[in-house]
Amino acid sequence: MKQKQRFACTAHRCGWKFNSYFKPELCPYCGTKGSVQLDTSRGAQDILEEIDQLEGEMEARRG
């Protein structure tokens, strides 16, 4: 099963972020053509998952 990816519009004064199975030709919010790119900014969920992983590694080292 294909996983959704996070995309962001790079058009001036848009910055719309959304999840999609494929990269659309047009931004679904502002309609700018060719402005959609993979979102490389880190979201809160990514950071929380990384904290959980690091805490697990610390526990493994302790005991």
- Provide the H-helix boundaries in the chain: 44-62
When pLDDT is cut at 50, 70 and 90, the band that residue 46 belongs to is: confident
Q: What is the pLDDT of residues 10-41, one digit of tens each?
A: 998 898 899 999 999 999 999 999 999 998 77
Domain ranges of the chain: 5-62
Which tokens is 55 given? 């805490």
DSSP string for residues in 8-24: EE-STTT--EEEESS--
Full-model pTM: 0.58
As a whole number of angstroms, the distance between CA 2 and CA 12 comes to 30
Only one residue has tokens 């929380």, namely 48
